[in-house]
Structure 1
Amino acid sequence: MYKQLKEVEVTVQGEPVASYPQNYQTGQGQPPFVGSPWNTGLFDCHLDQTNAVMTAFCPCVTFGQIAEVLDEGEITCPLGSFIYLLMMPAICSQWIMGSKYRTKLRNKYGLVEAPYQDVASHILCSCCSLCQEFRELKSRGLDPNLGWNGIIAQQQAMKYGNERLSQPPPPQVMSK
């Protein structure tokens, strides 16, 4: 009446839902969607129209401003702009510098590499990429329009501004 059950070995193929692709596990890549999202999208140029127009006509200036902030003043805006400007017509490789600084920005703030890879973003739409990077820095309190020295001055004013307001002004004397 009772039948003996045979043990059957079942092999399950595939990978668990929460795991990363195999090439990541072997160290040949990075997991998808690692990092926090950008504050604005790649094609949200309309959110800062002044910067969008400036970048459309002079992308080298926007790049210089971004480079100065990310390099904390080591590269000035005019020097960054000049380097970008030289790469534009000469060898059409401004995307190399643009993608390098986009990667630097992403790594500094732990941002996801989306919607495209950094290189692809700068090859396909360098102006949109520069505008997004500009807006990201600005939303984090680092307005590239001010330059690095302006940002430092603004931060110091915010830090010490309250102390100065609570102190009375120095004595003043009228002279003849």
Structure 2
Amino acid sequence: MSYPIVTQPAMFQVAQPANGEWDSEVCDCCKDTSTCLCGAFVPCILACRVASAYGECCCLPFLCGTLVALRTGIRERYHIKGSICNDCVYLTFCGQCTLCQMYRELQNRK
């Protein structure tokens, strides 16, 4: 007599601690002049580039709150320490510089 399998074995994933750092600081815009100029004069284009480099649709930044989600996603993907609250503060008060940092991070870690 055989018994039916009721449950499947589950996969376990071990969470890695977020102890990494950003490759560049928020105000390191001079490291990449073209990105800095794009962020200063046409930040919507840079936001689309960030979304595309992250692997999302380039129209994503036009939805409310998605830049915070993108920054949080970058932090989680590369195990960079920080919080959603910090992400929101950076994007609110230093939006263009933060976009530049996000783009540099994605380019450096390709």
1:66 to 50, 56, 63: 50
Q: Quote the sequence identity (%).
A: 27
Aligned residue pairs total 93
The structure 2 residue matched to 1:137, chosen from 100, 106, 110, is: 106
1:55 paired to 2:35: no
- Displacement, 1:68? 1.6
Structure 2: 5+ residue stretches without partners: 1-16
RCO higher in structure (CA 8 A, sep ≥6): 2
What's the secondary structure of 1:41's corresponding residue?
coil
Which sections of structure 1, spanning at least 5 residues, go unmatched?
1-32, 85-93, 142-176
What is the TM-score normalised by the length of structure 2? 0.75
Amino acid at match of 1:103: T
What is the distance in 1 between the residues matched to 2:29 and 2:53?
20
Q: How far does residue 34 in structure 1 lie from its aligned partner after superposition?
A: 3.8
- The SS at the match of 1:137 is helix
1:130 maps to a residue whose letter is: L
1:63-117 Cα shifts (integer Å, max 9, x gaps): 11111222x2x41x3x236x26xxxxxxxxx5x2221110011011101228x71
- Runs in 1 of length 4+ with deviation above 2 angstroms? none
Q: Which of 60, 84, 89 is equivalent to 1:80?
A: 60
Structure 1-normalised TM-score?
0.48
